[in-house]
Structures are given as C-alpha cells and as structure tokens.
C-alpha cells in the first residue's frame, strides 16, 4: 500500500497522514508512506548542491510517481501494490499511478485531488508561487513570506463560511501559527518546487489533454473522493475522470472545503476502509 505525501507541508492541523489508521487497517495491510520530491526529506532544492537545483524547476508529478515506482520495483523488489491512496498533491500522484502503471496497482483512491488542474487552479497556484518569488527578490524575511503565503492559502483551503464563523482575531492567530509551523518545517524553495509541479499537472499530458483517453488506460478499481466546496483544487476534472472509469465516488459537502480530508476524516475513512475491504 503506497500513500504519497500531501502538498501543503507538515503541520499536524493540515496533514491527516498522522491519522493513517483512520483510512487504512494497518493490522491487515502494510503501509508505505513516501516523501514526495520537494518535501525536504527526499530530494529537494534545500538538500541538493547548487549546480543541481535548476533541475527542480521542471519537476512534475509524473517524475514523483516514476521515482516511487523505481523505489518499489528496483529497491523493495515489489511487483504489485494492493492500493495507492493520496490526498491533495498525493491524490494527483494517485491519478498518475492509475494511468501510468495500470497493471501494477489494484485499487486507487485519490482524495481532494485533481487529475488535470483547471485555469482557476493554475491562477491560484501561480499567485502562491509569486508570493515566494517576489519575497525572495525583495529579500523579505522567511517568516514574512510564509505569512503572506498562508494568508492566501487560508482564502482557499476552507470556504468563506468556515473563515467567517471564526472571530477575526482567531483567524489571524491561526495564520500566524500555521506560518510559523511551515517556517520551522519547510524551506521556501522546496515549497515553490511542489507548487510548480502541482500547477501544471495534467494526467492526460501524453494524450493531448484528453481525459477520456487517459482514463482508458486505467485497470484499477477507483474510489474518487471530492468536494464541490473545494476551492483549492476544482472538483470538475476528478468527477469527469471518475465517470470515464466508472469509479465509485464520495462527494463531501463541508465548509472545510479542501481540508475536508481532516474535518471529515471519520466519514472518508469509513468509505476508504470499506472500499479496500471489497
């Protein structure tokens, strides 16, 4: 079982991987959690020599999945996986697994993810990337850059309803907390690397952008979990892909929006466990 990492850092409020048991019965399945390129522990600009960092400018989701496949087949000597599960950018990797290696995995479950970023998604992530690039060009302190980036992300991680239900002071305190957590655990250049990879993701890139042709490669059973309230990754492409492969779907309505994978963890976890048990 392979569970790729999620895009938005390692703050415990944002990443449900620490609650792995909510999704997977680890008494029944072996679980392998892979750190995606650009996360700071795996190969990233921050731990690569200056001469090699330029290569990360062109990093893709497909590169991440190809490296994971090599890890499994060349180093762990595994020929097959029961399932690939991923959340957000990890869910992008799950879509990529389903199309790129259709005979290797039996079950694929992308959660709050997209197989093909939309113009809205691209605009959002280009703006997020600009916060980092502008901060670096102005030599702004890292904490200021992270605060600006976190303000932007807060607008899209949750719905207006969720933000409005909190007091203004509480919202700002949460932004400060999250920005500090990101500063402590992530390097801005690593974050920018993942943003670049996510903003241009298209599982159908090798099929002239045709989702139907890409979906025709899939052999795995799929459960696609999405939310129409998700403002971080538009749900439409995931729904279309699910229709093409006749996947099971779970639509989550939640003011938490993209972070429904945390707020609705129990509900999603039940669906994932039941789907894996079939």
Residue 227 zone, left/alpha/beta (φ > 0; ψ -120 to 50; rest):
beta
CA dist., res. 67 & res. 50, Å (int): 22
In the chain, CATH 3.40.50.1820 sits at 2-118+201-277
64-106 pLDDT tens trace: 999 999 999 999 898 889 999 999 999 999 999 999 999 999 9
Q: For 134-148, what is the mean pLDDT? A: 92
CA dist., res. 20 & res. 173, Å (int): 28
Report which of 105, 101, 102, 69 is spatially closest to residue 85, judged by C-alpha positions: 105
Residue 261: which residues within 8 A CB-CB, separation 6 or more?
6, 16, 87, 88, 111, 112, 225, 268
Q: pLDDT value at position 19?
A: 65
Tell me: pLDDT of 14 over 80.
no
Specify the pTM.
Answer: 0.91
235-266 pLDDT tens trace: 999 999 999 999 999 999 999 999 998 899 99
Q: pLDDT value at position 6?
A: 32
CA dist., res. 191 & res. 132, Å (int): 9
The CATH fold of domain 2-118+201-277: Rossmann fold (3.40.50)
Q: Are 106 and 130 in contact (CB under 8 A)?
A: no
Q: How would residue 3 be classed by pLDDT, with cut points 50, 70 and 90? A: very low
């Amino acid at each position: 079982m392979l569970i790729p990492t999620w895009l938005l850092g390692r703050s415990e409020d944002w990443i449900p991987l620490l609650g792995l048991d909510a999704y997977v019965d680890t008494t029944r399945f072996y679980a392998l959690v892979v750190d995606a390129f650009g996360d700071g522990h795996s190969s990233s600009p921050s731990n690569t020599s200056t001469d090699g960092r330029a290569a990360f400018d062109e990093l893709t989701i497909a590169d991440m999945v190809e490296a994971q496949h090599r890890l499994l087949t060349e180093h762990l000597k595994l020929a097959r996986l029961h399932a690939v599960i991923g959340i957000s950018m990890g869910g992008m990797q799950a879509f990529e697994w389903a199309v790129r290696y259709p005979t290797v995995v039996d079950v694929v479950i992308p959660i709050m993810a997209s197989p093909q970023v939309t113009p809205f998604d691209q605009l959002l992530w280009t703006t997020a990337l600009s916060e980092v690039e502008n901060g670096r060009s102005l030599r702004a302190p890292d904490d200021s850059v992270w605060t600006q980036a976190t303000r932007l992300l807060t607008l899209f991680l949750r719905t207006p309803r969720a933000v409005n239900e909190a007091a203004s002071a509480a919202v700002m305190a949460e932004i400060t907390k999250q920005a500090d957590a990101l500063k402590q655990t992530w390097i801005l250049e690593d974050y920018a690397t993942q943003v670049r990879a996510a903003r241009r993701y298209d599982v159908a890139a090798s099929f002239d952008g045709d989702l139907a042709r890409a979906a025709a490669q899939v052999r795995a059973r799929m459960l696609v979990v999405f939310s129409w309230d998700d403002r971080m990754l538009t749900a439409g492409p995931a729904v279309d892909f699910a229709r093409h492969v006749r996947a099971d779907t779970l639509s989550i309505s939640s003011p938490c929006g993209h972070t429904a994978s945390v707020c609705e963890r129990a509900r999603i976890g039940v669906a994932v466990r039941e789907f894996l048990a079939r």
